[in-house]
Structure 1
Amino acid sequence: MSPHKAPDSSRRSDRSRRAICDAALSLVGEVGYARTTIEGIAARAGVGKQTIYRWWPSKAAVLMEAFVDMGTRAAEAAEAEGTAGGGEHGIPDTGDLAADLGLVLRATVDELNDPAIEAPTRALTAEGVIDPALGAQFVENLLEPQLQLYVTRLRAAQEAGQVRADIDPRIALELLIAPLTHRWLLRTLPLTHEYADQVVDLTLRGLLVQP
């Protein structure tokens, strides 16, 4: 038998790929990750299930690419409309750090509360815990690029003399992200804009240079 060759992703139909990604996201949002199947994704996308198996090893891998694809399309749409706000860095830099971080955290709250995004995100988070390889992909492809946006903005604030020079931006960003993630994961209390504003306010009290 000839050795198995990895599929050539460059030969994939972009229309079919996007249809499959969209189908995966919609199905997970409608019926949950556990009840989503490759067969169901294929039927929703109008392709054969073998097409999916040729391109992805699992439904988790499909969902991962669907998330990356969704982010790419959102960025392209924002750039086309001139609403990217933060330019290439993704987070606005108006000179008002509190306002800039508040805007981003409020947008994060909206995304996490969006049923179309919440269910797939929870599924990937859970799968990443039990599958180290998938978890590493989740961090590399989805989480780390977002974290770097905060690092860039906080470093700019340091250079402007607003944030203390002894602050490590990688640690500081966790003060902003972790509370939202904790409340969202545990569903302990509502995740609201007001809560995001309080997180920004309390965090900046420890980060900003005091007059």
Structure 2
Amino acid sequence: MNEIHQSLPFLAPELLKKIEESAVVKEIPKDTEILREGQFVKVIPIVLSGLVKVYSRFKGKELLLYYIRPNEGCIMSFAASFKNDPSKVHAVTEEDSRILLLPVDEVASWIQQFPSINTLFYQQYNLRYSELLDTISHVIFDKMDTRLMDYLTEKSSLTKQNPIKLSHRQIANELGTAREVISRVMKKLEIEGKVLQHSNTIEIIQW
């Protein structure tokens, strides 16, 4: 499959051939849960097109961890499968997505046979580690209005949409706070001329 070669050009040709033989490419609709907390990982997803959100849930609240963009994989799935542990995160498609599913059993043997596959996971580990540090920094040091604007800007950039269809409750879930807090801060941003709220969308005015 040519799209696999385009998404993973750094892998050895022999490994790409095995991936074509063993992996599955699936079209997954928007808002589909592809991984849940406590589930044992059987496949490792690589996004070919679309967008996947990865988040954790604690005491009924969600916290956005990162997005899996095209040509990226889920390092949390890889870590859980490598140790045969249940997943600690949830993953859901943010839009219609085309996803390459690597069978865990095969990946274990590929790691020994083809060292180049480690490049994929090392890249993802470094990327997610940097994003995690950014998230922690935002939570500890940034005020909620800064966090909210950064969130909206990233969401608009990822989805290539402005206005963005989002509810205050959804934003609150992803930022790990209360809906009332988001509504209050959103009103502040609107007064400052940074956003404009419509009936069911939010438009970013000032980037």
TM-score range, shorter chain: under 0.3
Q: TM-score, normalised by structure 2?
A: 0.27
Larger radius of gyration: 1
Structure (1/2) with the larger strand percentage: 2
